[in-house]
């Protein structure tokens, strides 16, 4: 089934632990994004990648890192989790072409840091 998959679906993590959220898309989209969604704050961009091998910082990058070794995968790593990183994380992708760049979102990962 074409689209974006994220893993895990949910996770409870102890503060200070390292965690990698996985994201895979099979649409051959060149751009990928990571957002966090918090009540009352909407969707905030953490990191993005316009093409394999490149990444950039979004609005709230601190405490997170990403890599883009190939077109399909865009993992998000929390090196040392803190409670303020409790959130729902969404991965998205788009084909950068033309004026309308519809972003397709994954189902999300609900992360709780205790």
Shortest Å, Cβ 74 to other proteins: 15
Shortest Å, Cβ 91 to other proteins: 8
Helix H or strand E encompassing 56 = strand 56-57
Closest to 5 measured CA to CA, from 108, 111, 110, 112:
108
Nearer to other proteins, 101 or 112 (CB): 101
- At 7, list the tokens: 């893993």
Any bridge partners for residue 74, and if so which? none
Nearer to other proteins, 62 or 100 (CB): 100
Shortest Å, Cβ 17 to other proteins: 25
What is the rounded radius of gyration, in angstroms, for the C-alpha atoms of the chain?
13
Nearer to other proteins, 15 or 97 (CB): 97
Rounded to whole angstroms, the Cα distance separating 21 from 91 reads: 9
Q: Where do contacts with other proteins occur on this chain (CB under 8 A)?
A: 4, 31, 33, 40-45, 48, 50, 58, 90, 92, 94, 96, 99-108
Rounded to whole angstroms, the Cα distance separating 27 from 94 reads: 9
Shortest Å, Cβ 85 to other proteins: 19
């Amino acid at each position: 089934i074409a689209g974006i998959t994220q893993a895990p679906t949910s996770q409870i993590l102890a503060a200070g632990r390292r965690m990698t959220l996985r994201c895979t898309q099979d649409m051959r989209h060149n751009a990928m994004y990571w957002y966090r969604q918090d009540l009352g704050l909407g969707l905030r961009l953490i990191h993005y990648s316009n093409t394999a091998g490149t990444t950039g910082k979004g609005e709230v990058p601190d405490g997170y890192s990403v890599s883009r070794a190939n077109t399909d995968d865009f993992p998000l790593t929390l090196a040392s989790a803190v409670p303020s990183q409790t959130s729902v994380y969404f991965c998205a992708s788009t084909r950068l072409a033309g004026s309308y760049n519809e972003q397709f979102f994954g189902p999300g990962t609900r992360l709780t840091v205790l």
